[in-house]
Every structure is written in structure tokens, then in C-alpha cells.
């Protein structure tokens, strides 16, 4: 038996290290092993083998947004879904001749006496007309499109929903129990607050944003428009505080701080709701004049009296 000469070995074509039967003249840019077309992974320079690519992914830090969340392919997915839900529910409102509105709008008496606590949230997805929903959805598209990519989907959704809840709770706490209101403006104002915090964090000029916010606040006080500025204020406070925690807390504690802040806001909203519910029920337990008592606990507006029974505002407020 004779051994192959060194010249014969040198002339043997290289084969893929993962597929020995396949001839290959391309080598991995990192480990210099021969790789066949099926094993080639395009790299910044040349090609790499699958093992080197996997190893590189383990050592490469994943890109994160300002709040520490993952960066997704569609940066406005949640915003689009929220707009779709609002539009779909508005169509249901119209189709049911506002029976859905009366069943799910925010009204303090229904929350206190009937235990219909869901109205605190469902009211934020209902609207009074075409103009109302068009303006709110336009604002959601513009502001949400700037906030969602920087907070990430779950943080953004948390800020939106808790801002909506915070707006309803503040309205519940200070309005007449008979005042009805609907609209997404509480949540949108929460996003205004979030955008303000993000712009400050990024050291952007905020003068223009402040002007827009002031104009919207002033509009809420114009007589005859029936705008529930209490919901705006509640949403603005919640959105600003939550976002500040999410982006100013040190990176190592940011996730935990965001969760704790969200839970604290939720518990606070529940606490205020329970307190206000007890307050309203105490006025109607027969131990005192309900009309006088309800007027005393109403900070904004006043309850009307018809036939000796407090009826409250007859006009539905938008927000």
C-alpha cells in the first residue's frame, strides 16, 4: 500500500466542514473554515458559517428603545389596534342607536349603586359623534406614533390604559354622580404627558408641544362645549408620572420600577373609586337629605333636583 503524496493532498479540493461531501472554495470570515452555499450567511464582510453567526448573536447586545423595550418591525402596531377598536365600537354605537353608549358610558351613579365599575374603562372607547372620534383618533395617531416606538408596545399600552382609567377616576371623584361622559381624550392627554417627558429626556425643544397642550386645556373650559376637562387632567397626570418612571429610572432597575409604578397607579385608582363609591352610597342610605348631600360632595358642577330627587346633569360630556 502506498500513501498519497503531499502533492496529491494539496491538490484535493476543500469541502464544507458541515457537509464533507460538498466541494467549497468559500471560507467563513471569522473561523476560516470552508462552507458550502447552504451554510453561507451573509455578513458585513464576506460570509460566515452558522456557528459563528450564533456565537455572534450571543455576544451582540439587542437594540432597545429609550424605555428599555424591544424594537419591533411595526412601531405603531398598538396605536393602529387602538384606533381600530375605537372606530369599530363607534360603529356599534351608531348601529344600536346609542344603547351601547348608555350601557357603557361613564356615570357615577351606575358605578356606585349598580357596581358597574367597568364603565370607568369602557367609556374611554366610546364617542359622541363623528367630529368627536375624528379629533381623538387623529390625536392618537399623531401622538401615539411618536410615543409608541420610544416606550415599546407593552409600556405604551400600559400608559394608555392607565391614563384612560385615571381620567375616569378623577372625573368620578369630583363630578356629579349623574354626569355621563365618554371619550378617549383622557388616554390621549396621558400620551401628551408621555411625549413631554420623552422629549425632555431626549433634550428636544418642548415649547411647541406645551403650546398645543395649553390650547387643548383652554378649549376644555369653553362654556357650551361640555368637555370633561377633569378626565383630561387625570389622564395627563398619570401619563406623565408613569413615563417619567419608565425613562428616568436607572437601566438596571427600570423594568421593576415600571411595574411597581403601574401597580401603584392601579391601586390608587381602585382606592379612590372605593372611597367615592362609599361617599355616594352614604348620601343615599336615608340618613340625610340626598339632594343636599350630593351637592356637598360634588366638587365640579351641581346636581339638579326634580320632584325631590337629585337627577344631576342631563348633558353627556365629551372627553
Active site residues: 185, 232
Distances (CA, A) of 177 to 82, 116, 162, 169, 180: 28, 13, 21, 12, 8
Longest dimension (CA), the chain: 119
b/e sequence 12-49, b meaning 16+ C-beta within 10 Å: eeeebbbeeeeebebbbbbeebbbbeebbbeeeeebbb
Residues 6+ positions from 244 with CB-CB distance below 8 Å: 197
Where are the alpha helices (H) located in the chain, listed in sequence order? 6-11, 50-59, 77-95, 99-104, 108-114, 119-122, 130-151, 153-174, 185-201, 207-219, 229-248, 254-283, 290-297
C-alpha cell at 167: 381620567
Q: Tell me if residue 60 falls in helix, strand or coil.
A: coil
Q: Are 132 and 185 in contact (CB under 8 A)?
A: no
Q: How far apart are the C-alpha atoms of 110 and 101, rounded to whole Å?
A: 13
DSSP string, 157-174: HHHHHHHHHHHHHHHHHH
CA neighbor of 126 nearest in space, from 58, 61, 181: 181
Amino acid at each position: 500500500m502506498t500513501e498519497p503524496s503531499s502533492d496529491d493532498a494539496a491538490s484535493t479540493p476543500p469541502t464544507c466542514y458541515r457537509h464533507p461531501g460538498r466541494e467549497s472554495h468559500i471560507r467563513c470570515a471569522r473561523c476560516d473554515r470552508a462552507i458550502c452555499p447552504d451554510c453561507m450567511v451573509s455578513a458585513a464582510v464576506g460570509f460566515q458559517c452558522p456557528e459563528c453567526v450564533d456565537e455572534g448573536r450571543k455576544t451582540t447586545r439587542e437594540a432597545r428603545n429609550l424605555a428599555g423595550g424591544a424594537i419591533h418591525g411595526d412601531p405603531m402596531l398598538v396605536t393602529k389596534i387602538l384606533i381600530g377598536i375605537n372606530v369599530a365600537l363607534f360603529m356599534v354605537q351608531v348601529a344600536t342607536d346609542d344603547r351601547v353608549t348608555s350601557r357603557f358610558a361613564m356615570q357615577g351613579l351606575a358605578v356606585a349603586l349598580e357596581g358597574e365599575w367597568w364603565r370607568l374603562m369602557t367609556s374611554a372607547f366610546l364617542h359622541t359623534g363623528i367630529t368627536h372620534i375624528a379629533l381623538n383618533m387623529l390625536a392618537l395617531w399623531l401622538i401615539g406614533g411618536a410615543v409608541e416606538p420610544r416606550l415599546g408596545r407593552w409600556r405604551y399600552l400600559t400608559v394608555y390604559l392607565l391614563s384612560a382609567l385615571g381620567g375616569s377616576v378623577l372625573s368620578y371623584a369630583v363630578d356629579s354622580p349623574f354626569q355621563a361622559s365618554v371619550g378617549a381624550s383622557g388616554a390621549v392627554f396621558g400620551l401628551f404627558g408621555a411625549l413631554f417627558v420623552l422629549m425632555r429626556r431626549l433634550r428636544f425643544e418642548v415649547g411647541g408641544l406645551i403650546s398645543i397642550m395649553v390650547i387643548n386645556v383652554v378649549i376644555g373650559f369653553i362654556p357650551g362645549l361640555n368637555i370633561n376637562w377633569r378626565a383630561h387632567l387625570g389622564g395627563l397626570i398619570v401619563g406623565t408620572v408613569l413615563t417619567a418612571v419608565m425613562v428616568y429610572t436607572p437601566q438596571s432597575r427600570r423594568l421593576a420600577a415600571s411595574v411597581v409604578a403601574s401597580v401603584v397607579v392601579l391601586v390608587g385608582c381602585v382606592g379612590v373609586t372605593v372611597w367615592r363609591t362609599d361617599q355616594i352610597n352614604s348620601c343615599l342610605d336615608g340618613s340625610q337629605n340626598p339632594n343636599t348631600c350630593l351637592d356637598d360632595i360634588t366638587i365640579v358642577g351641581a346636581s339638579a333636583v326634580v320632584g325631590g330627587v337629585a337627577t344631576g346633569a342631563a348633558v353627556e360630556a365629551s372627553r
